[in-house]
Amino acid sequence: MNKAGLLQELNLKAVRSSGAGGQHVNKVSTKVELAFDVANSNALSSIEKERVLHKLAKRLTKDNILMLQADATRSQFKNKELVIKRFLELLENAIKIQKKRRKTKPSRSSVEKRLRKKKKDALKKANRGRPKLD
């Protein structure tokens, strides 16, 4: 993954934030929208593209464009940094290969410990009832 190449391929756009905020909100574009075309990217290899398309399929548009936005702060610059950071983390996680899980058995001592605790708790609950008068 070529980070410098990715940053050049990003399409950033500043728009007005929604919600309350008075006069300032109506005249300042602080919300940042990021668009990244995964299918036509030169910064990703074909294998990386395949992984991203598979793992982020629900977040992509029909044209395989990844859309992200940030409007957490009042600063356009900070929102831009935020959205780029989130984008890079998202891509890194999508490209990363998950380590296969090896099946393991619990140790004998852990099984015995669990069963002892289970018996102890069962006795504790059994003793909570009303005493039997025979």
Domain membership of residue 109 (yes or no) is no
Domain membership of residue 81 (yes or no) is yes
The CATH number of residue 19's host domain is: 3.30.160.20
Condensed to tens digits (0 to 9), the pLDDT of residues 28-62 reads 888 999 999 998 888 989 999 999 999 999 999 99
Along the 134 residues of the chain, how does pLDDT read in single tens digits? 788 888 888 889 998 887 676 777 778 888 999 999 998 888 989 999 999 999 999 999 999 899 999 988 888 999 999 999 999 999 999 999 889 999 999 999 999 999 999 999 999 998 888 877 87
Report the distance separating Cα 50 and Cα 46, nearest Å.
Answer: 6
Residue 30: CB atoms within 10 Å: 22
Domain membership of residue 36 (yes or no) is yes
Tokens 């756009």 sit on residue = 13
Domain membership of residue 129 (yes or no) is no
Domain membership of residue 127 (yes or no) is no
Q: Please give the tally of structural domains in the chain.
A: 1
Q: In the prediction, which pLDDT does 6 show?
A: 86
Q: In the prediction, which pLDDT does 29 show?
A: 87
Cβ contact 52:45 at 8 Å: no
| Per-residue CA distances from 58 to 62, 69, 91, 95, 122 (Å) | 10, 16, 14, 15, 46
Residue of 82, 73, 115 lying closest to 12 (CA atoms):
82
Domain membership of residue 120 (yes or no) is no
Q: In the prediction, which pLDDT does 98 show?
A: 87
Burial level of 49, CB count in 10 A (0-12/13-18/19+)? middle
Structural domain boundaries, residue 59: 3-95
Domain membership of residue 67 (yes or no) is yes
Per-position DSSP letters for 45-68, written without gaps between them? -HHHHHHHHHHTGGGB-TTSEEEE
Domain membership of residue 54 (yes or no) is yes
Q: In the prediction, which pLDDT does 129 show?
A: 81
